[in-house]
Amino acid sequence: MRADSPLVLGIETSCDETGVGIVRGGALLSDVVSSSVEAHARFGGVVPEVASRAHLEAMVPTVSRALDQAGVRLRDVDAIAVTAGPGLTSALLVGVADAKAYALAVDKPLYGVNHLAAHVAVDCLEHGPLPEPCIALLVSGGHSSLLLVESVTDDITALGATIDDAAGEAFDKVARLLGMPFPGGPHIDRVARDGDAGAVSFPRGLTGPRDAPYDFSFSGLKTAVARWVETRRRAGQDVPVADVAASFQEAVADVLTAKAVRACRTAGVDTLLIGGGVAANSRLRALADQRCAAVGVRLRVPRASLCTDNGAMAAALGSLLVADDGRQVLIGLLLLAGAEQEESVTATYLGYSPRG
């Protein structure tokens, strides 16, 4: 780490985590997350209004803790990066408004960053510079995307995405119908260890020869699990929860890894990066390891705390944007500009430019 590298503070509020991270030249100095996940548990999913109120309350203390842990003061910060989308609008608004206020207070530039690109960029903090091009599989409660990353700061192509539920959402919904608490992903993962993944053959969505090769669909799978469980219950039979969890998890991991590895081979790319909360899934990781090794693709998965939403990811991408002199974007100027200009800057400079 170079002591004279810019100090970048990142703010993330796209969903239910208020994340603040501080990065200097590829080194992570602090990463503080305040999650409102418990406030959503009784609803079985994230409630945007509840999340945005929680962001409002958590923001100032979270920024203070991040500064303390990094041993820096707000006025030492050289740039501020904030997740500008995609995400829950009312939640994003809180982060963007706060980031603008901090940038104005210390008279430093503000960078709006794309959340998906930030999920990719964060891996640099753990594994060093990202080999480009690479394929990124991002799987969380809100997203399931396959991206071709030519350059994480300015050339990312969306190859495919879910056409209905996100992978994490499917884990959460299936967990709920099996009687597990929200968020259900970690519970399914744990229970599935004692189950037989071959017990029930659940459908693999969008894997037919005429289906879009890189899109995902998990809603039919969720319905298939619900029907299977209902049929057993109606017949007065026990539901083998571990077997159902393992079989469901196998269907998700199978489709995600097959499509991701296929994207690597088709694009002639030898690095696959997996991010998002579902990247913590043990079966997904094992199958990705195995399938990548079989075709000579290197697999990069950041540690769990960097996979789920956090502020370090915004700081990591912000830091790369700051370093990328040619594309310096001072969204701070927008503090004085109208909404129309803001929209065009947001669309152009999120470090994400889907080509098709």
Per DSSP, what are the bridge partners of residue 273?
Answer: 136, 300
By CB under 6 A, the count of residues binding ligand ADP is 20
Q: Which one, 57 or 230, has the nearer CB to Mg ion?
A: 57
Binding to ligand ADP by CB under 6 A, coded x per residue (else -) over 303-332, reads -----xx-----------------------
DSSP 308: S
CB of 281 to ligand ADP, least distance (A): 3
Q: Which two tokens stand for residue 46?
A: 């994230």
Q: Which one, 79 or 139, has the nearer CB to ligand ADP?
A: 139
C-alpha radius of gyration, the chain, whole number: 21
Q: Please identify, among the stretches 55-63, 96-104, 172-180, 304-312, the one whose residues bind Mg ion according to the rule CB under 5 A.
A: 304-312
- Which pairs count as long-range contacts for 29-32, CB under 8 Å and 24+ apart, including other chains? 29/69, 29/70, 29/71, 29/72, 30/65, 30/66, 30/67, 30/68, 30/69, 30/70, 31/66, 31/305, 31/306, 31/310, 31/311, 31/312, 32/62, 32/65, 32/66, 32/69, 32/311
CB of 350 to Mg ion, least distance (A): 20
Q: Which two tokens stand for residue 209?
A: 């020869």
**Binds 189: which of Mg ion, ligand ADP, none (CB < 5-8 Å by kind):** ligand ADP
Q: Return d(Cα 38, Cα 56) in angstroms, integer.
A: 16
**Binds 171: which of Mg ion, ligand ADP, none (CB < 5-8 Å by kind):** ligand ADP
Q: Return d(Cα 259, Cα 252) in angstroms, integer.
A: 11
CB of 58 to ligand ADP, least distance (A): 14
Binding to ligand ADP by CB under 6 A, coded x per residue (else -) over 3-42, reads ------------xx--------------------------
Under 8 Å between Cβ of 59 and 82: no
Say whether residue 276 binds ligand ADP (CB under 6 A): yes
Q: Which one, 154 or 165, has the nearer CB to ligand ADP?
A: 165
Q: Which two tokens stand for residue 112?
A: 């709006």
Do the strands 79-85 and 110-114 form a parallel or antiparallel pair, or are they unpaired?
A: parallel
Under 8 Å between Cβ of 21 and 32: yes
Binding to ligand ADP by CB under 6 A, coded x per residue (else -) over 182-201, reads -xxxx--x------------
Q: Please identify, among the stretches 2-10, 73-81, 198-206, 278-286, the one whose residues bind ligand ADP according to the rule CB under 6 A.
A: 278-286
Q: How many CB atoms lie within 10 A of CB 105?
A: 11
Under 8 Å between Cβ of 278 and 140: yes
Residues 6+ apart with CB under 8 A from 201: 247
Q: Please identify, among the stretches 13-21, 48-56, 251-259, 340-348, the one whose residues bind Mg ion according to the rule CB under 5 A.
A: 13-21
Distance of CA 114 to the CA centre of its chain: 11
Q: Please identify, among the stretches 66-74, 177-185, 220-228, 344-352, the one whose residues bind ligand ADP according to the rule CB under 6 A.
A: 177-185
Say whether residue 15 binds Mg ion (CB under 5 A): yes
CB of 179 to ligand ADP, least distance (A): 15
CB of 4 to Mg ion, least distance (A): 35
Q: Which residues bind ligand ADP (CB under 6 A)?
A: 15-16, 140-142, 168, 171-172, 183-186, 189, 276-278, 280-281, 308-309
